[in-house]
Chains A and B, each alone.
Chain A
Amino acid sequence: MKRLAVVLAIFSCFRLFASDNRELEKRVMALSRQLRCLVCQNETLADSQAELAADLREQIREQMKAGRNDKEIVAFLTDRYGDFVLYRPPLKPRTYVLWFGPFLLLGGGLFALYRSLKRLGS
């Protein structure tokens, strides 16, 4: 009975450890999927086989273990590699054209269409 208890205790330790790791790995992968590998630029950090990508995943893992949140880790990476590592570009004055340009073009096109249709009608 005692032996069984010991075995169970050890087992539950393992299970706890394993699920802990799985949670961590999930977080590492979720964040890595939003980040660009600088070596193979069309791949995410999660997909890339490049050595640097593995190193950066390791960095992310360590920082998560140390209790840092995703935002802090992303800041760590953009401080070193710039916004280029982000697949989703941040909204700031430099990227206004990128974010709003398409809507401006669409608006302009619709306006031109409206005007030429009106001219045709009259």
Chain B
Amino acid sequence: MRFAIPFVIFLLLVVFLAAGLLYDPHEVPSPLINKPAPAFQLAQLHEPGKTFSPQEMRGQVWLLNTWASWCVSCLEEHLVLADLARSGDVPIYGLNYKDKRENALALLRELGNPYVLSVLDTDGRVGIDYGVYGVPETYLIDKNGLIRFKQIGPVTREILDKTILPMVTELNQ
């Protein structure tokens, strides 16, 4: 009985420390979850004469994936996105972030293009509106244009199967 209180305090401390160990400070929770996806109108990568804007996607569930040819972890993600594009489960749109058009085109020529289309955010301003701080980042956007999920860092098969695809199914209902 004498040790009950110190023991409870000790347990509390353990819980706090464990939570601190498991929490990754590099994943900053986005304040944009359940908020409207910021509007933009940007030139398309393959057809610079044409633009794309998220408003065109109303009524559809879709992914917005920020990527760049200089981004190493995007390469690892590329394979997962290619699989996803083949499955046709959810359309992927690319936000080509602070990149050179030629380099972006060359990368897609070499590795294949999982995107319905990509837009050019050359100066990174749209990236700032979306709270991008480390490419790749991926946003799941619902039929009403709300951001429902944000993946920071590469999308993996596991995240796709456990989180993104179940949410897509649910949002499509």
Contact = CB atoms under 8 A, between A and B. Distances in A.
- Which size bracket describes the interface of B in this complex? 10 to 19
A56 B31 CA distance: 17
Interface of B: 25-26, 28-32, 98, 123-124, 128-131, 133-134
Kindly list the 10 A-B residue pairs having the minimum CB-CB distance in the complex, ordered from nearest.
Answer: A38-B133, A80-B131, A82-B31, A84-B28, A81-B131, A55-B124, A52-B133, A39-B133, A82-B28, A82-B29
B34 to A, nearest CB: 13
Interface string A48-92: 000110011001000000000000000000111110100000000
Given A59-B128, A78-B31, A80-B129, 17 more contacts: A38-B28, A38-B133, A39-B133, A39-B134, A41-B26, A55-B128, A79-B31, A80-B31, A80-B128, A80-B130, A80-B131, A82-B28, A82-B29, A82-B30, A82-B31, A84-B28, A84-B29
A56 B26 contact: no
A39 B134 CA distance: 7
Interface in A37-51: 38-39, 41, 51
A59 B127 CA distance: 12
- Which size bracket describes the interface of A in this complex? 10 to 19
17 contacts: A38-B28, A39-B134, A41-B25, A55-B124, A55-B128, A59-B128, A79-B31, A80-B31, A80-B32, A80-B128, A80-B129, A81-B28, A81-B131, A81-B133, A82-B28, A82-B29, A84-B28
Contacts of A78: 31
Contacts of B98: 51
Contacts of A81: 28, 31, 131, 133
Nearest to B131: A80
Contacts of B123: 55
